[in-house]
Chains A and B, each alone.
Chain A
């Protein structure tokens, strides 16, 4: 089969179902955006169910929200926002043709921040919830302070933050692969599409958290009583 001469220059990572590297880049980008739309609907289904029950059982949801520690939620929010910055820096580093060590450093910092997010969540929030008997279905200690309505809130808390955490862990895996690819010299200022696409995914996971934080942690006036 014959190609255009230009395409036959075979930039690294060129996939042969495409005619040009430009087409490949556009396809990859469009593919990730479309995939993120599916993720919006995926989280959106959960958010919708959450919204319905928040409307129906507002007082219980408020009480449940007040059991969460806003400080850790806020710290995690800051951690994720920083990680999006470092991710963008990693992409920029590849884009401007900086040394692969620069790119790797930014990627690794992003991974550390992402891991910190998960660690803070597990160690300071979920472990505490477990100890206090606030984990529905697995360890829920009912009582006047732990009403059935609050149990429903915590169902959603764990489902939503759990689903988000799974996406974070997948993101960490993707970052690890990117680190490996960068170390192998796969990227250049001409070709860094995988970094860009993964960046889109990472930013998306960050944005989901930006919604989760106020919805879960900041219900109702917290400081008025």
Chain B
């Protein structure tokens, strides 16, 4: 186990055998059981899906610079926003941190050789790419135009697009999430290194555990909902279509029962990453460890009982509205607690500004805005006005892009040296982080204003009075696109040409940095670690438990 002094970067040992060069060839990757390689397989897949989803957004914003639409017919625009939403939610954000960073880092961070069920881990990737394939079939066979929310009866009876293909793709990809969740829960319960008690775990692990609970309990419900939708579409039986005896609101309740917790699947891992980044780049123990850990669990639990806030204007009862509103306020509190704890962690820290930290700090600011604007939507009276407008679009992009994607990028940059054994050029990384931050705000801040002014979402054409705000937003989107393209380039470049990374380039605490080389061998550790101190113990004179 490491000594109490701060490790400074050591000499790299590149000629070592590590998980990347231990075996070569396609088969060694496609039949791997190594969680690190599986994490990379996922990384490649979701990057490809992100490009598809991003292209859809790019065309949408380009189209919207003109009130009457600059680029495509409404039918096509409707397909673009559907594809953007479906891909970004189900095939990018939901798997992003868990399947890439979670798969890669969890065993390393808890001192295990692999996850509990490596073969199931590989199976989950195959299931995932099958889901992706079906989604791509749906896209290339004409697309889907129902919105990622698939509301009935439009999706089951009126839309004549590839709904069943797309629903099948999402259904199958859901099983990949479920298996990942099962794997993580068992791994975290059963495979921690000796001495690594629950309250010594890094907060990223707590966050992944909470996320896995949502994977396990929520995903099956979207699966059954889409299954029923598919059957209704194919057989014209009355489940959700009122014309044949069904209830369209039942679809919405079942859909949102998963899809609300799903947004916490998207943000909790990001919050876990931020806890790692803030501590590593201020060299301090997290402020309020137990509070942050319990907040993750509280968010996971409460997330299941707030779904009705998506349905305040559907005609559900006032009473239901009140209940869901108060619970939605409740779920905001743990997130606020985390933001304050992260900020307080910086106090009297020793802060450095490598790219991961810039992403983390950007996250805190943007997530604060995104989370607070959620309160406008939890508030019944304002939600009536704002639901279905661009305000909602702005809110969720602030948390999902300003939050989750920034955290994802921060995590990728942070663990890149561990994953690849290479350093990327930090100057370019910081420039890209700044471009992402600026481009993001320019894209989405005007949308808050648009929303309160009344511009509805999912509009292919709009009244001319909204044009200025739309043009600002589209300009921001082009800047954001550049911000995303730059890391793609230098990260790829670094895999071949980047300087070799030391074991612990950031001087961070954590088993993955202190006990495993960069990159690690297939079995992760030459000597299995034993843990004798709390997480983030940068000030070793007082190593007491929290």
| A and B in contact, CB less than 8 Å | yes
**What are 8 A-to-B residue pairs whose CB atoms are below 8 Å?**
A17-B114, A17-B191, A31-B182, A34-B186, A37-B216, A37-B217, A42-B221, A45-B254
Residues of chain B within 8 A of A31, CB atoms compared: 116-117, 182-183, 186
Q: Which residues of B contact A35 (CB under 8 A)?
A: 178, 182
Q: A16-B113, A56-B247 are in contact. Are A152 and B186 (CB under 8 A)?
A: no
Q: In the complex the two chains form, what is the Cα distance from A138 to B231 in whole Å?
A: 11
- A38 in contact with B217 given A27-B190, A151-B238, A155-B238 (CB within 8 Å): yes
Minimum Cβ distance to chain B for residue A109 (Å):
29
B323 contacts A by Cβ under 8 Å: no
Other A-B pairs beyond A19-B528, A34-B186, A35-B182, 17, CB < 8 Å: A15-B118, A17-B113, A17-B114, A27-B116, A27-B190, A30-B189, A31-B116, A37-B217, A38-B220, A39-B220, A41-B216, A43-B224, A56-B247, A57-B245, A137-B235, A137-B236, A137-B237
In the docked arrangement, what's the CA distance between A19 and B114, Å? 11
Q: Which residues of B contact A214 (CB under 8 A)?
A: none
Does chain A have a CB within 8 A of B244? yes
Name which of A46-54, A121-129, A180-188, A203-211 contacts chain B.
A46-54
A152 and B216 within 8 A (CB): no
A73 to chain B, nearest CB (A): 22
Contact between B220 and A27, CB atoms less than 8 A apart: no
User: In chain B, what residue has the closest Cβ to A42?
Assistant: B220
User: Is there contact, CB below 8 Å, between B191 and A136?
Assistant: no
Q: List, in ascending order, chain B residues with CB within 8 A of A39's CB.
A: 220
In the bound complex, residues from chain A placing their C-beta under 8 Å from that of B246 are 152
Residue of B nearest to A32 (CB): B182
> Does B162 reach chain A (CB closer than 8 Å)?
no
Q: Is the CB of A155 within 8 A of B239?
A: yes
Report how far A45 CA is from B254 CA in the complex, Å. Answer: 7
Which 4 residue pairs spanning A and B have beta carbons closest together? A137-B235, A45-B224, A42-B220, A17-B114
With A and B bound together, what is the CA distance between A149 and B238 in angstroms? 9
Q: B1 at the A/B interface (Cβ < 8 Å)? A: no
Quick one: which of B107, B186, B250, B525 has the most chain A CB within 10 A?
Answer: B186
Chain A residues within 8 Å of B525, by CB: 1
Asked if A136 and B237 make an inter-chain contact with CB atoms under 8 angstroms apart, the answer reads yes
**Counting CB contacts under 8 A, is A159 at the interface?**
yes
Q: Which residue of A lies closest to B525 (CB)?
A: A1
CB distance from B180 to the nearest CB of A (A): 11
Interface assignment of B115: CB less than 8 Å from any CB of chain A: yes
The complex places the Cα of A149 from the Cα of B254 at a distance, in Å, of 21
Q: How would you classify the secondary structure of chain A's contact residues: helix, strand, loop or mixed? A: helix
Q: How far is the CB of B127 from chain A (nearest CB, A)?
A: 14
Q: Which residue of B lies closest to A156 (CB)?
A: B239
Chain B residue nearest to A18 (CB atoms) is B191
Contacts of A56 in B (CB 8 A): 247
CA distance A44 to B117 in the complex (A): 26
| In-complex Cβ contact of A45 among B178, B181, B225 (8 A) | B225
Interface positions, chain A 1-21, Cβ under 8 Å from B, are 1-2, 15-19
Verify B526–A27 contact, CB threshold 8 A. Answer: no
Question: Are A151 and B116 in touch, CB under 8 angstroms?
Answer: no
Cβ of A151 and Cβ of B245 under 8 Å apart?
yes
Cross-chain contact B116 with A152 (CB below 8 angstroms): no
Nearest-Cβ distance from residue B293 to partner chain A, whole angstroms: 20
Q: Which residues of A contact B477 (CB under 8 A)?
A: none
Contact status B221-A52, CB under 8 Å: no
Name the residue among A26, A31, A44, A138 with the largest chain B CB count within 10 angstroms.
Answer: A31
What's the Cα separation between A93 and B187 when bound, in Å?
A: 30
Tell me the chain A residues, 144-168 only, with Cβ under 8 Å from chain B. Answer: 148-149, 151-152, 155, 159
Tell me the complex Cα distance, A48–B238, Å: 16
Decide yes or no whether A23 CB sits under 8 A from chain B.
Answer: yes
Q: Which residues of A contact B (CB under 8 A)?
A: 1-2, 15-19, 23, 26-27, 30-31, 34-35, 37-39, 41-46, 48-49, 52-53, 56-57, 136-138, 148-149, 151-152, 155, 159
Q: Is B219 close to A, CB under 8 A?
A: yes
Contact indicator B191/A30 (Cβ below 8 Å) = no
A48 close to B254 (CB less than 8 A): yes
Nearest chain-B residue to A3 (Cβ)? B528
Q: Which of B182, B220, B238 contacts A152 (CB 8 A)?
A: B238
| Alpha-carbon gap, A149 to B247, bound state (A) | 13
Among B203-250, those with CB < 8 Å from A are: 216-221, 223-225, 228, 231, 234-239, 244-247, 250
- Are B112 and A17 touching (Cβ within 8 A)? yes
Is B185 positioned at the interface, with any CB of A under 8 Å from its CB?
yes
Kindly list chain A residues whose C-beta atoms are within 8 Å of the C-beta of B223.
42, 45
Whether A41 contacts B221 in the complex (CB less than 8 A), given A136-B237, A137-B237, A151-B238, comes out as yes
Task: For the complex formed, measure the closest distance between the CB of A28 and the CB atoms of chain B, giving whole angstroms.
Answer: 8
Which residues of A sit under 8 angstroms from B217, Cβ to Cβ? 37-38, 41
Asked whether any CB of chain A lies closer than 8 Å to the CB of B7, the reply is no
A23: which B residues are within 8 A, CB to CB?
190-191
B514 on interface, CB distance cutoff 8 Å: no
Do B216 and A42 touch across chains, with their CB atoms under 8 A apart?
Answer: no
B247 touches A44 (CB 8 A): no
Q: Is the C-beta of B523 less than 8 angstroms from some C-beta in chain A?
A: yes
What is the CA–CA distance of A15 and B216 in the complex, to the nearest angstrom? 24
In the bound complex, CA of A34 to CA of B117 (Å): 13
- Contact check: which of A49, A57, A136 meets B254 at CB < 8 Å? A49
Nearest-neighbour CB distance to chain B for A16, whole angstroms, equals 7
Could you tell me if A148 and B224 are in contact, using CB atoms closer than 8 angstroms? no
B228 closest partner in A (C-beta): A49
- 1/0 per position for B496-530, CB-CB distance to A under 8 A? 00000000000000000000000000010111100
Instruction: Name the distance in Å between A139's Cβ and chain B's nearest Cβ.
Output: 11
- B115 — which chain A residues lie within 8 A by C-beta? 17
CA distance A49 to B114 in the complex (A): 39
Q: Identify the closest chain A residue to B118 (Cβ).
A: A17
Determine whether the beta carbon of A42 is less than 8 Å from that of B224. yes
* Cα distance, A41 to B114, chains bound together (Å): 28
> Which residues of the other chain, A, contact B221 by a CB distance below 8 angstroms?
41-42, 44-45
A127 vs B99: C-alpha distance in the bound complex, in angstroms?
Answer: 44
Contact A148 B238 (CB under 8 A): yes
- Residues on A with C-beta less than 8 A from B182 are 31, 34-35, 38
Which residues of the other chain, A, contact B237 by a CB distance below 8 angstroms?
136-137, 151-152, 155
Docked CA distance A46–B257 (Å): 13
CA distance A159 to B113 in the complex (A): 42
* A52 neighbours in B (Cβ, 8 Å): 247, 250
- A30 → chain B, closest Cβ, in Å? 5
Residues of chain B in range 379-433 having any CB-CB distance to chain A below 8 Å = none
Minimum CB–CB distance from B303 to chain A (whole Å) comes to 14
Q: Are the CB atoms of B245 and A149 closer together than 8 Å? A: yes
